[in-house]
Chains A and B, each alone.
Chain A
Amino acid sequence: MGVQTLPIDAALDVTTPRRSPSQLLEWLHGWVVTVDHKQLGLMYMLYAIVFLLVGGAEAIAIRIQLAFPNNLFLSPEVYNEMFTMHGTTMVFLVGMMYIFAFGNYLVPLMIGARDMAFPRLNAFSFWMSAFGGLLLYYSFIGGFGLYGMGGAPDVTWWAYAPLTAKAFSPGHATDYWALALIVMGFGTLGSAINIIATTLCLRCRGMTLLHMPLFVWLMFVTSGLILIVITPLTAAQIMLLIDRYLGGHFFDTQAGGSATIWMHFFWIFGHPEVYVLVLPAFGFASEIIPVFSRKAIFGYPAMVAASVGIAFVSLGVWAHHMFTIGMTSVGNAFFALSTMLVGIPTGIKIFNWLATLWGGKIRFATPMLFCIAFLFQFLIAGLTGIMLAVAPWDWQLHNSYFVIAHFHYVLVGAIVFNIFAAVYYWYPKVTGRMLSETLGKWHFWLFLIGFHVTFDTMHFVGFLGMPRSIYTYMPDRGWNTLNLIISLGGFVQGIAVLIFAWNLIYSWFRGKEAGNDPWDAWTLEWSVPSPPPPYNFATDPVVYSRRPLWDIKHPDDPDWKYEA
């Protein structure tokens, strides 16, 4: 035996367990360096909820300003910053983050995997997204514009050229906006690649593609869509920065650049983005509605096909945001048709959800309430979408409050309602405790009422000719009463969201013990303890059907005997 010169034992770990203050630090350090998909999912969720509150506060500020004509609550400069930040925050810091919150947390659990395919890429992506968000909000301090009012971006979230040129947007606000989106875009791409790889490579035995829960399918389709559409957005932001700092002329109309090319770049991202946000929400509904109807999802293959179909069609509809820019009549007709085609797979989805409810034994727990409201609101959102696809009518409705009402019906009425449903549904799995049903019911009914007061009314003020993005309006236009009603509904929604936030905190400490499977559900995540242990599954599960837990609970009548 040779003489051991190196203190090998000591090289491993000489630190003694530390005491109180540094324990907190170590706990924090654990979160910062983690590559665990569940911890990252939780951080994404926390991030999304914090920015939901921030974006919501901006919305409230907007509604206070618009409650009365010629109101002086916000200056025009600050108002323009508020609605730009509201849009950017809700789409990129809430919408994109909630996707990855649930995607990260649930996809590995649902397919019987122990983590994501690329855990470090996962952490990298989260921190990129997080820093992108900080960069955007740092603009309030760092982006000092011309007006001396601080310098948050004030060019709208679609940021049409050439308003974003140095000549019209001096200061650094627009730079923060562009940079933040580039940085977040890299984070988003990383996470999308990760989810695709995880779905393709890490499924447990028996989990064929057509045995995957629909939520996993929708995350898979969403991630594919993200890979396609974030790319032109990032390219456009880089071109914008080249224009602003390196003398480029991509969008410089004074030098032969094109304002419309920005619109194409932006909306080839921007429209599929809506589907990027809504498809995971469809995934929630496709998990929750069956469990609370006590039935298998109706027409699973058609649901998968419709999701893939929506993703494909969504790539060919972007110019319906541009019916007013003077396209040819043939161009307008083409995009009217392609947009209407989206209605076919979407209609199939709605029919399948209804057929799932049909003949079930529906339990109206809070997650299900939110999903039922989603079905109703998504139906309306789809129909107003058809109205906007009718190009000549869109020449009237475009950029009016009707459009605002329509897309809030999608983004709030469909997506946010389903996010709430998903939080009530999976919170017990994540924390081991149920959310309070009483607070949940208050949250649901207040939010539902506030939502309809606000956004139903917005359709009508749009019919009456109120354009979007205006910080005030003249009292003689016939919009006064309706705007006041819209604002009141906004406050009710604000209260409901605060109840939700309180419920999250309260139930964390006082919630009822959940157990492994509080909803008597059927997918793999409910087979492990709540919260799930590190690496999820002690032994790799084996599944034989789309509802592995149903098979275990009903050995006499398993799914695999019947599934097509």
Chain B
Amino acid sequence: MKPRRSPSLIFTRVLCPALACMSAMTCVAQGPQATPSILAPASTSAHQIYALSQFVLMITGGIFAAVGGLLVFVIIKFHARDDDAEHEPPQIYGSTQVELAWSVIPILIVVVLFLTTARIIFAIQDAPEPADALDVIVIGHQFWWEFRYPKLGIVTANELHVPVDRATYLRLLSADVDHSFWVPQLAGKTDLIPDHPNETWIQPLHTGLYLGQCAQFCGVEHAKMLLRVYVDSPQQFAAWVKNEQQSGVQDSTVAAGRHVFDTEACANCHRIAGTAATGSFGPDLTHLASRATIASGVLANTPQNLHDWIQDPNSLKPGVLMPAMQLNESQIDELVAYLDTLH
């Protein structure tokens, strides 16, 4: 007999997500967890915005209760009754006193809201850059992210590493069309616009993984331009920097794969530091194996996924600019083996 779906299963499948939403709404969600929710702030500016949003929600909620309640009252109280159908109600054309009085209320609300808003705009946008801030250049590409750490000499892609409790200043550039950098737990979004350099900053309060994605339509694969930010402890971050500053690992057991990489078209678009591959059109692969995902956060970085990706990127991310390289099976296997050594 086919077992009936148990209540607990329904609970986990249906109610839990709903409850999770509700609890997120009421800000029960605490501490770092991988979610793109704006209701679980984990950085200085995200907290400032969150506090402001609660204040605004309180005021608008009050207006909603008052005016909505009035509307409900009016339609219940003044609906037409059958026993008195032929008489028209008294006609009232207006009242200057009443109208002036209720015009003052929205004006006062606007004054309060504006002053609060302006304070937070200036606090976040004009915050002075601390001397120890980390500088990162973020470059948006159709449909992936390039991260450059100019003072550290690091170039990487799609997975941003920043230290906890320290400000990171992001200079936002675009190589092609408009994109938008949005990791809701860490900061509001700022657009990456070609020939229009922008800047934003994040100061994460907890270590962990934070999810985001491109928030400005940028073409066919806009939906799969995902973004991962790893907030590291100072030690983890130092270790990560040290590793990233190395050239690509040269393991002689995978020389065949490296040969494929250098002699087929791979090297035209991708860079592996310390080799002849110096392309800059696609993501830097020097430390590909140290990343958790490929294809801008779309796929887990496993040998099988890498294999399928190289064979036909379009079947996994239709519209991606990387072409299928027409390699044979053994070439792909060699290549995957090589890429897997690039820690």
B156-214 interface (Cβ within 8 A of A): 172, 176-178, 180, 182, 184, 187-191, 193-196, 198-199, 211-214
**B117/A325 in contact, CB under 8 A:** no
Q: Is the CB of A336 within 8 A of B114?
A: yes
| A506 lies within 8 A of chain B by Cβ | no
Cβ of A350 < 8 Å from any Cβ of B? yes
Contacts of B214 in A (CB 8 A): 467
Q: Mark B48-70, 1 if CB is under 8 A from A, else 0.
A: 11001100110010011001101
- A527: min CB distance to chain B, Å: 18
Interface centre among B57, B105, B120, B178 (most CB of A within 10 A): B178
The reply on B99 being an interface residue by CB < 8 A is: yes
Partner of A470, one of B68, B89, B92, B222: B222
CA distance A348 to B101 in the complex (A): 10
- Inter-chain CA distance A460–B39, complex, in Å, is 10
Contacts of B224 in A (CB 8 A): 472
Tell me the complex Cα distance, A147–B220, Å.
10
Give the chain B neighbours of A256 by CB distance below 8 A.
195
Q: Does A534 contact B (CB under 8 A)?
A: no
Taking the complex as formed, is A516 at the interface, i.e. its CB lies under 8 A from any CB of chain B?
no
Contact B89 A359 (CB under 8 A): yes
Known A324-B188, A344-B103, A348-B103; contact A168-B176, beta-carbon cutoff 8 A: yes
Q: Say whether A350 contacts B114, CB under 8 Å.
A: no
Would A392 and B49 count as touching, CB distance under 8 A?
Answer: yes
Question: Contacts A325-B198, A326-B191, A355-B98; is A471 near B78 (CB within 8 Å)?
Answer: no
A473 (CB) vs chain B CBs: closest residue: B223
Q: How big is the B interface, by class?
A: 35 or more
> Contact at A77–B122, with CB atoms within 8 Å?
no
**Can you report 26 residue pairs joining A to B where beta carbons are below 8 Å apart?**
A76-B318, A147-B220, A258-B195, A259-B194, A325-B191, A325-B193, A325-B198, A326-B191, A328-B125, A332-B125, A336-B118, A355-B98, A372-B71, A379-B71, A386-B56, A387-B60, A393-B52, A393-B188, A396-B49, A398-B188, A472-B224, A474-B226, A478-B21, A478-B37, A480-B17, A563-B93
Find out whether the CB atom of B318 lies under 8 angstroms from the CB atom of A395: no
Smallest Cβ distance from A211 to chain B, in angstroms?
13
CB closest chain-B residue, reference A301: B94
The answer to whether B17 touches A478 (Cβ under 8 A) is: yes
Q: Fill in one digit per residue for A128-157: 1 if any B CB lies within 8 Å of its CB, else 0.
A: 000000000000000000010000001110
Interface check B80, CB cutoff 8 A: yes
- A260 and B39 CA atoms in complex are apart in Å by 30
Contact of B247 with A by CB under 8 A: no
Which residues of chain A are near B53, meaning CB under 8 Å? 387, 390, 393, 396
Option from B105, B177, B189 in Cβ contact (under 8 Å) with A162: B177
B223–A258 CB distance below 8 A: no
Compute how far the CA of A383 lies from the CA of B114 in the bound complex, rounded to whole angstroms: 14
Residues of B within 8 A of A528 (CB): none
Pair A80/B184 contact, Cβ less than 8 Å: no
Q: A340-B114, A387-B57 are in contact. Are A299 and B94 (CB under 8 A)?
A: yes
B121 interface residue, CB < 8 Å from A? yes
Q: How far is the CA of A538 from the CA of B333 in the complex (A)?
A: 88
The 7 closest A-B pairs by CB, nearest first: A395-B188, A465-B36, A470-B223, A326-B198, A253-B194, A299-B94, A347-B106
Is A296 engaged at the interface, CB distance under 8 Å to the other chain? yes
Count of CB-CB pairs between chains A and B under 8 Å:
304
* B275 is an interface residue with CB less than 8 A from chain A: no
B120 surroundings in chain A (CB, below 8 A): 392
**Assembled-state Cα–Cα distance A294/B38 (Å):** 47
Complex contact B74–A392 (CB within 8 A): no
A336 — which chain B residues lie within 8 A by C-beta? 114, 117-118, 121
Are A390 and B189 touching (Cβ within 8 A)?
Answer: no
Which chain B residues lie closer than 8 Å to A76 at the CB level?
Answer: 220-221, 223, 318-319
Q: A253-B194, A293-B78, A361-B81 are in contact. Are A350 and B217 (CB under 8 A)?
A: no
Please determine whether A348 and B106 come into contact, CB atoms closer than 8 angstroms. yes
| Separation of A325 and B193 alpha carbons in the complex (Å) | 8
Specify which chain B residues have a CB less than 8 angstroms from the CB of A301 in the assembled complex.
Answer: 94
User: How far is B105's CA from A160's CA once the two chains are assembled, in angstroms?
Assistant: 38
CB-based contact A386/B60 at 8 Å: yes
A387 → B minimal CB distance (Å): 6
With A354-B74, A395-B188 known as contacts, the answer to whether A344 contacts B92 (CB < 8 A) is: no
- Cβ-defined contact, A471 with B39, below 8 A: no
- CB of B250 within 8 A of chain A? no
**Using a Cβ–Cβ cut-off of 8 Å, how many residues does chain A contribute to the interface with B?**
102
B318 close to A359 (CB less than 8 A): no
A465 near B195 with CB under 8 A, answer no
Given the known interface contacts A358-B74, A362-B75, the answer about A464 and B21 at a Cβ–Cβ threshold of 8 Å is yes
B110 at the interface (CB under 8 A from A): yes
Which one of B34, B105, B118 has the highest number of Cβ atoms from chain A below 10 Å of its Cβ?
Answer: B118
Partner of B17, one of A344, A355, A481: A481
Closest to A350 in B: B67
Q: How far is the CB of B295 from chain A (nearest CB, A)?
A: 12
- Complex Cα distance, B57 from A384, in Å, reads 9
**Interface of chain A residues 380 through 403 with chain B (CB within 8 A):** 380, 383-384, 386-387, 389-400
8 Å CB contacts to B: which residues of A536-564? 554, 557, 559, 562-564
On whether the beta carbons of A160 and B222 are closer than 8 Å, the reply is no
**Knowing that A147-B319, A467-B214, A469-B223 are A-B contacts, what are 11 other residue pairs whose CB atoms are under 8 Å apart, sorted by A's residue number?**
A344-B106, A351-B99, A379-B71, A386-B113, A395-B188, A396-B46, A460-B21, A465-B37, A478-B24, A478-B36, A564-B94
Task: Give every chain A residue within 8 A of B193 (Cβ-Cβ).
Answer: 253, 259-260, 325-326
- Per-residue contact bits, chain B 5-28, to A (CB 8 Å; 1 contact, 0 not): 000000000100110110011000
Task: Select which of A160, A258, A333, A358 is within 8 A of B216 by beta carbon.
Answer: A160
A387 to B177 alpha-carbon distance, docked (Å): 29
Q: Using Cβ atoms and an 8 Å threshold, which residues of chain A touch B198?
A: 325-326
| Interface residue? A248 (CB, 8 A) | no
B172 contacts across to A, CB distance below 8 A: 326
Contact mask A51-81 → B, CB, 8 Å, 1/0? 0000000000000000000000001110010
Chain A nearest Cβ from B102, distance in angstroms: 5
Q: Is A512 an interface residue (CB 8 A)?
A: no
Contacting pair B94 A77 (CB below 8 A)? no
Is A535's beta carbon under 8 Å from chain B?
no
Contacts known (A168-B177, A379-B67); A467 close to B215, Cβ less than 8 A: yes
- Within the assembled complex, what's the spacing in Å between the Cα atoms of A397 and B49? 11
What is the minimal beta-carbon distance from A198 to any residue of chain B, in angstroms? 27
B241 within 8 A of partner (CB):
no
Measured in the bound complex, the distance between the Cα atoms of B98 and A352 in whole Å is 10
Q: Are A387 and B56 in contact (CB under 8 A)?
A: yes
The answer to whether B36 touches A477 (Cβ under 8 A) is yes
Which residue of chain A has the shortest Cβ distance to B106 in the bound complex? A347
Let me know if B109 is at the binding interface, CB within 8 A.
Answer: yes
B25 touches A460 (CB 8 A): yes
Assess whether B93 is in contact with A399, with CB atoms less than 8 Å apart: no
Q: What chain A residues lie within 8 Å of B318 (beta carbons)?
A: 75-77
The answer to whether A333 touches B118 (Cβ under 8 A) is yes
- B92 to A298, Cβ gap below 8 A? yes
Q: Is the pair A329, B93 in contact by a Cβ cutoff of 8 Å?
A: no
CA distance A317 to B103 in the complex (A): 21
